Amino acid sequence: MARALGAQAPLSVQIGSDASLRKHGFEGHNNLSFHRRSWNSTSLELKKRNVQLKYQNEVVCMSVQQASKKKVAVQPLELENAKEPPLNLYKPKEPYTATIVSVERLVGPKAPGETCHIVIDHGGNVPYWEGQSYGIIPPGENPKKPGSPQNVRLYSIASTRYGDSFDGKTASLCVRRAVYYDPETGKEDPSKSGVCSNFLCDAKPGDKIQITGPSGKIMLLPEDNPNATHIMIATGTGVAPFRGYLRRLFMESVPNYHFGGLAWLFLGVANTDSLLYDDEFTNYLREHPDNFRYDKALSREHKSKKGGKMYVQDKIEEYSDEIFKLLDGGAHIYFCGLKGMMPGIQDTLKRVAEERGESWDAKLSQLKKNKQWHVEVY
């Protein structure tokens, strides 16, 4: 399961209409960030490559940085009414045909590899909850089963149930392009590239895409206690579900859900250029300092206390006493990313537990029993 512009929130805006900006809570803020450039909203110049006319409604899809503590109105609020998460509304034999809205590169030039933020229009027909995944069926036939379609690939959804346009009609994915480099020549071998990730990263607005799902319950954001603590551990594109959580907690105005607890994000990536949605997270840190903490582990730039590369487990160890106290107090902890992240994290937690005179196996068993432990790796 894979999971990428500077973490800006796409907003659907009627062409030439300042009213729509006011409706979404941006009134009085004329300086907007659009594709990493500063613009004045009263004289916003929309260049052709940054404008997407959506169907016949003349709607511009543009990235607008959240600039105010005032939250964004969302709709339809009927999406709050379901008592259970939607599951497998569309299956591999009968997928839903959705439409690509936009594909944007998320990482800088010095990042190893390419990660994209992909917005998909599902027309409100494939609703989901934060923490769920979509299945994607790339075009072409299955090489192992000639005549059959490709297998489904699962991707964690990187948006809230209302999507990046806040209208309940889109879903976003955070996808790293999978490529293969020959160990002998050091050159890329296109014949071994990831089929689905390359299809998604190469997609153009208007392209059709086959989706299944939604699926998954383990990573759902518990909302029974609005003052709960949520500790989120991500590597790379594993940040996808957490981006959805944080938009719901801090960006959107949901009448019946007002978060007053603590959300703490640990994000591990290679370097500064590899950071995903960093502008968005930094904004939450500035506007909600009592409710949000954000720690980064940049393996190629930071050093651990032992002098080696800084990985996310080293950050966890740095704050281990505090993390264990929060877990003892009922905090939820989430892990999402490559499965290779878990052994190192588990070893760190076990060592810390033993140093505290605790049995990690017993503690982990209790966390799982209390439904405080949430893991999704791929």
Distance separating alpha carbons of residues 262 and 275, to the nearest angstrom = 22
38 has binding-site annotation: no
Residue 336 annotated in active site:
yes
156 has binding-site annotation: yes
Sign, CA dihedral 258-264-268-274, equals: positive
Q: What is the H or E stretch that residue 278 is in?
A: helix 278-287
Residue 259 C-alpha from the chain's centroid: 19
Secondary structure string (H, E, C) spanning 305-364: CCCCECCHHHHHHHCHHHHHHHHHCCCEEEEEECCCHHHHHHHHHHHHHHHCCCCHHHHH
What does residue 232 show for φ and ψ, rounded to 5 degrees? Answer: -115, 120
Candidates 96, 294, 319, 378; catalytic one: 378
Q: What is the H or E stretch that residue 295 is in?
A: strand 292-298
Q: Which two tokens stand for residue 127?
A: 């609703």
Candidates 128, 155, 162, 245; catalytic one: 155
Torsion angle of the four alpha carbons 155, 160, 164, 170, in this order, in degrees rounded to the nearest 10: 60
99 has binding-site annotation: no
For the chain, give the longest Cα–Cα distance: 65
Residue 162 annotated in active site:
no
Candidates 130, 252, 280, 376; catalytic one: 376
Candidates 116, 196, 201, 336; catalytic one: 336
80 has binding-site annotation: no
300 has binding-site annotation: yes
Produce one character per residue of 15-50: b if its CB has 16 or more CB atoms within 10 Å, e if not.
eeeeebbeebbbeeeeebbbeeeebeeeebeeeeee
What does residue 185 show for φ and ψ, rounded to 5 degrees? Answer: -90, -25
Q: Cβ–Cβ contacts within 10 Å for residue 247, how many?
A: 26
Residue 311 annotated in active site:
no
Q: What is the H or E stretch that residue 373 is in?
A: strand 373-377
Candidates 156, 159, 197, 274; catalytic one: 156
Annotated binding site: 156, 176, 237, 299-300, 309, 337-338, 376
Catalytic residue positions?
Answer: 155-156, 336, 376, 378
Annotated binding site for NADP(+): 156, 176, 237, 299-300, 309, 337-338, 376
